A and B are shown apart, each in its own frame.
Chain A
Amino acid sequence: DAEITQSPRHKITETGRQVTLACHQTWNHNNMFWYRQDLGHGLRLIHYSYGVHDTNKGEVSDGYSVSRSNTEDLPLTLESAASSQTSVYFCASSVFGTGMNTGELFFGEGSRLTVL
């Protein structure tokens, strides 16, 4: 079955280290997104991509980067981890569509990151 997977599911790191969270989907979806979830803030968009070699900043992109070299993967990198980046990170994907035909957003299982 097609799916979207994230790894690692749990990660503890130290301030200043580089961290990469992987996201892999087998639906052949064009659109991929990274959200972070924090109590009181809901789901906030970090970065997103509409296709290979396309990346865009979301509302909380500072300190994060992504790259899209193929359809299936959108890794999220924290260049120099900070305690404020302790959070649960969700990757998601959707079929490309416009307006009224936009498809459902499918989420991965989440990656819990703790920065000490």
Chain B
Amino acid sequence: GENVEQHPSTLSVQEGDSAVIKCTYSDSASNYFPWYKQELGKRPQLIIDIRSNVGEKKDQRIAVTLNKTAKHFSLHITETQPEDSAVYFCAARSGNEKLTFGTGTRLTIIP
């Protein structure tokens, strides 16, 4: 089955700086790659996703890039703000509907 590795497990950045979280996947058939944000005590919520026919997608301060050849994808957050502090999960899905998640990155924005 699919295996998703996520790095780093913790990340601290100064407010206003950029943050990058990286994930690799094992199943070359995977074609959908979402990112979820989970605030403390809350449910995970989708913040951005990318499909395998696209190399990059942006939504305001958030962007995701996908390298199918290398089987890795990354989340980029620019101009970080205190409300960006959370745990972020990457995931990958092949055609059978199941999402396999990475182990999460705890992002802390330092004021």
Contacts and interface: CB of A to CB of B under 8 A. Distances in A.
Nearest to B42: A109
Given A50-B97, A96-B97, A105 B46 contact: yes
Interface of A: 31, 33, 35, 40-45, 48, 50, 58-59, 90, 94, 96-100, 102, 104-105, 107-110
Nearest 4 pairs of A and B residues by beta carbon: A42-B103, A107-B43, A43-B101, A99-B95
A21 to B, nearest CB: 14
A43 B1 contact: no
The size bracket of the interface on B is: 20 to 34
Nearest to B6: A42
Given A42-B102, A45-B98, A45-B100, A102 B93 contact: yes
Contacts, number: 56
Given A45-B100, A96-B97, A102-B32, A109 B43 contact: yes
Interface of B: 1, 6, 9, 31-32, 34, 42-46, 49, 51-53, 89, 93, 95, 97-104
Contacts of A45: 98-100
Between B34, B43, B49, the greatest number of chain A beta carbons within 10 A of the residue's beta carbon is seen for B43
Contacts of A105: 34, 46, 99
Contacts of B9: 40
B108 to A, nearest CB: 16
Nearest to A44: B101
Contacts of A48: 97-98
22 contacts: A33-B98, A35-B101, A42-B89, A43-B44, A43-B89, A43-B104, A45-B98, A45-B100, A59-B1, A90-B44, A96-B97, A97-B97, A100-B31, A100-B32, A100-B52, A100-B53, A102-B32, A102-B93, A105-B34, A107-B45, A109-B43, A110-B43
A88 to B, nearest CB: 10
A62 B46 CA distance: 28
